[in-house]
């Protein structure tokens, strides 16, 4: 084994550009082999053997060794004869020379396993730093830079990403394995999240790329290329259950330089690193958000801001259908995703104006009716329309959020349209006109949302009311008293309870709130069905008599009797 060890060390020293030890010339037989190795090293790069060659060679040599041993046992050689073993070890040394020379030229060249190349490059440091550019490419080849970001990341899963260009310019997303945060220092606002689980994965993270290529169905070398003056090798990677994408590795270092996704829904993404380099660690100041004095700190929001749609899709878990607004003056302003609810939210706006439209998409669930909504239609699809949504709780994620407080300030004239289609729940909210909202509705469905024709319903029994009393009640509600008068279902519940107990209600209401269902809403009049056998009424009719908007109180104007009701 001594000779084989000398040959192996000789090859290693040549690879490291070191002078071989003098033992390499100690024996004539070894000297002949080392001369051959030096001659091979001076040649052009060899053609890499087919996949599995090393294993085949190893198996062949092992069989040869076993056969040699069996032959020696059957036909003993003369005392002192070493020929059989010399034959075997000579072949083994030649194999070692051949395999060793394949790697004399450096870690990356045509034919090299890209997984091995990336792993070898990644092993050289604990962290890396680079400038990453994200570009979208449409079917016509038009390119649009979506984001330019500074990236710091290490092998422990910590990262610091700052958006240098794009719709989220200035946004910092970081995780120090103890806490995760998103912040914009110029806005004095920060959202804090648990470090784990972390659904955010910044685009083109090297550790993730290595794992994905290891698990890929196929990896094929396609060509050699030059990226920004750097020689690179192009590979075509086909992941399991996915579309083939392109990956460029630095020919000299093995570091990934560029990646281009497959074309999906007419869009492909190109991701390219500039000035990428290894470092020993992420600077300490980047793994702490610092003093939060004067900051608005949010610890409850499940929505995370995203710089690209690709990142939002990764967090939410589904690919949205975005409206085509190319022929409008609107432009995309902000993207956010919600991992808990598998939802996406995209804001569009007009330059220099306060008009804003939010498009929210998520996996469809059980529909929740709003007592303020009018049941309209979008073609053959049933739609929930609210033309005075300001101050109204509208579901837009993991919990109901006040649209006025969340996105549109204290503006009035907020319109919301919500519907379900093909397993997706859509909601479009905006402070523009119904016609402006319909631009987005039509872009998604091919039809506009239409309000229902107003048809007056006639109750079986008319309820008594005094308009002056209602006007005084309205003033009281405006002053903060009896806020339940703004909820027609609550008003119907109180009315029904007083029919059962005219002397007054103590304790819980006899008919639960959830048994009062809004079946018709024209905006200023509502019909509510009571789904309870204990109720003396089956339908209740309400109107906004004093003020017809979100601040107007509701008054019962009539009801239908429940024919199945039996008084206890």
State how far the Cα of 528 lies from the Cα of 520, in Å rounded to an integer.
Answer: 7
Tens of pLDDT, residues 153-176: 998 889 999 999 988 899 999 999
Nearest to 258 by CA among 268, 248, 244, 243: 248
| 176 CB-near residues (< 8 Å, 6+ apart) | 158, 195, 287, 288
Correct CATH for 115-151+199-293 of 2.170.16.10, 2.50.20.10, 3.40.50.150, 3.40.50.1860: 2.50.20.10
pLDDT > 90: percent of the chain: 31
- Of 27-31, 188-192, 308-312, 509-513, the poorest mean pLDDT is in 27-31
Q: Are 148 and 166 in contact (CB under 8 A)?
A: yes
Give the Cα separation of 449 and 30 in Å (integer).
86
pLDDT at 80: 43
- Within 8 A by CB and 6+ apart from 520, the residues are 375, 457, 526, 527
Angle between helices 53-74 and 83-102 (to 10 degrees): 170
For 45, half-sphere exposure in the C-beta direction (CA atoms, 13 angstrom radius) is 11
pLDDT at residue 445 in the model:
92
Least confident of 34-38, 75-79, 262-266, 368-372: 75-79
Determine the pLDDT at residue 40: 59
The mean-pLDDT minimum among 176-185, 239-248, 359-368, 530-539 falls in 359-368
Residue 396: band (very low, low, confident or very high) from pLDDT cuts 50, 70, 90: very low
The pLDDT of residue 108 is above 70: no
Tally of CB atoms within 10 A around 459: 17
Specify the DSSP element, H or E, that contains 441.
Answer: helix 434-445
Domains 115-151+199-293 and 300-450 share a fold: no
Q: Does residue 208 surpass a pLDDT of 90?
A: no
Distance CA 337, CA 315 (A): 6
Q: Which long-range contacts (CB under 8 A, 24 or more apart) does 486-491 make?
A: 486/550, 486/551, 486/552, 486/553, 486/554, 487/371, 487/554, 488/371, 488/518, 488/526, 488/528, 488/542, 488/554, 489/371, 489/513, 489/516, 489/517, 489/518, 489/528, 491/542, 491/553, 491/554, 491/555, 491/556
Kindly report the backbone phi and psi dihedral angles of residue 6, in degrees, each rounded to the nearest multiple of 5, phi listed first: -60, -45
- Tell whether pTM > 0.75: no
Domain 300-450 bears CATH identifier 1.20.1070: no
> Which sequence spans correspond to the domains of the chain?
2-105, 115-151+199-293, 300-450, 461-561
Across residues 318-327, what is the average pLDDT?
83
Give whole-number Cα distances, 345 to 92, 492, 517, in Å: 63, 35, 29
Q: Which has more confidence, 145 or 10?
A: 145
Task: Give yes or no for a contact between 224 and 110, defined as CB atoms under 8 angstroms apart.
Answer: yes
Q: In the structure encoding, which two tokens stand for residue 26, read together?
A: 């100690």
| Spatial contact of 147 and 312, defined as CB atoms under 8 Å apart | no
Strand pairing report for 296-298 and 189-194 = parallel
- Angle of helix 206-214 relative to helix 114-122, nearest 10 degrees? 150
Contact predicate 141/80, CB 8 Å: no
- What pLDDT, in 10s, does the model give residues 114-140? 777 777 777 777 899 999 999 989 888
For residue 561, pLDDT over 90 is answered with yes
Contact in structure between 251 and 233 (CB atoms under 8 Å): yes
CA distance 140 to 491: 58
Contact 336, 415 (CB under 8 A): no
Gap between the Cα atoms of 11 and 16, Å rounded: 9
334 vs 19 pLDDT, higher one: 334
Which stretch of 21-35, 148-162, 201-215, 293-307 has the lowest confidence by average pLDDT? 21-35
Mean pLDDT of the chain, nearest integer: 78
């Amino acid at each position: 084994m001594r000779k084989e060890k000398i040959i192996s060390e000789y090859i290693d020293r040549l690879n490291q550009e070191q002078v071989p030890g003098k033992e390499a010339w100690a024996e004539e037989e070894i000297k002949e082999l080392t001369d051959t190795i030096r001659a091979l090293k001076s040649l052009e790069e060899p053609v890499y053997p087919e996949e599995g060659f090393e294993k085949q060679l190893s198996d062949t040599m092992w069989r040869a060794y076993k056969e040699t041993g069996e032959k020696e046992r059957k036909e003993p050689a003369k005392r002192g004869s070493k020929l059989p073993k010399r034959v075997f070890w000579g072949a083994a040394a030649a194999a070692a020379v051949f395999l060793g020379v394949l790697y004399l030229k450096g870690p990356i060249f045509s034919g090299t396993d890209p997984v091995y190349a990336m792993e070898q490059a990644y092993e050289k440091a604990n962290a890396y730093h680079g400038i990453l550019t994200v570009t979208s490419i449409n079917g016509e080849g038009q390119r649009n830079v979506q984001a330019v970001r500074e990236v710091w990341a290490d092998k422990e899963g910590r990262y610091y990403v700052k958006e240098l260009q794009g719709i989220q310019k200035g946004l910092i997303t970081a995780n120090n394995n103890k806490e995760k945060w998103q912040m914009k220092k110029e806005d004095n606002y920060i959202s804090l999240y648990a470090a784990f689980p972390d659904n955010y994965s910044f685009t083109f993270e090297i550790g993730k790329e290595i794992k994905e290529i290891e698990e890929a169905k196929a990896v094929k070398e396609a060509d050699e290329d030059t990226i920004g003056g750097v020689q690179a090798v192009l590979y075509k990677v086909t992941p399991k259950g996915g579309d083939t994408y392109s990956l460029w590795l630095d020919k000299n270092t093995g570091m990934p330089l560029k990646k281009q996704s497959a074309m999906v829904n007419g869009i492909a993404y190109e991701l390219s690193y500039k000035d990428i380099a290894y470092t020993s660690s992420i600077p300490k100041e980047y793994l702490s958000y610092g003093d939060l004095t004067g900051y608005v700190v949010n610890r409850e929001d499940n929505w995370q801001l995203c710089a690209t749609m690709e990142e939002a899709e990764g967090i939410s878990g589904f690919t949205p259908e975005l409206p085509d607004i190319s022929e409008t003056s609107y432009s995309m302003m902000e993207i956010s995703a919600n991992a808990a609810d598998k939802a996406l939210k995209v804001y569009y706006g007009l330059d220099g104006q306060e008009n804003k439209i939010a498009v929210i998409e998520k996996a469809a669930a059980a529909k929740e009716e709003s007592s303020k909504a009018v049941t309209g239609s979008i073609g053959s699809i049933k739609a929930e329309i609210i033309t005075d949504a300001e101050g109204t709780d509208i579901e837009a994620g993991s919990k109901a959020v006040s649209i006025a407080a969340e996105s549109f300030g204290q503006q009035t004239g907020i319109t919301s349209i919500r519907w379900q289609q093909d397993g997706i729940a859509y909601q479009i909210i905006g402070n523009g006109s119904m016609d402006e909202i319909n631009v987005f509705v039509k872009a998604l469905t091919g039809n506009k949302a239409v309000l229902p024709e107003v048809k007056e319903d006639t109750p079986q029994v008319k309820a008594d009311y005094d308009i002056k009393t209602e006007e005084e009640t309205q003033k009281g509600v405006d002053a903060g008293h009896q806020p339940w008068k703004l909820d027609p279902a609550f008003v119907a519940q109180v009315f029904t309870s007083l029919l059962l107990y005219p002397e007054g209600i103590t304790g819980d209401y006899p008919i639960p709130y959830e048994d009062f269902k809004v079946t018709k809403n024209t905006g200023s009049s509502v019909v509510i069905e009571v789904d309870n056998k204990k109720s003396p009424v089956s339908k209740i009719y309400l109107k906004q008599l004093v003020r017809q908007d979100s601040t107007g109180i509701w008054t019962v104007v009539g009801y239908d009797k429940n024919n199945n009701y039996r008084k206890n």
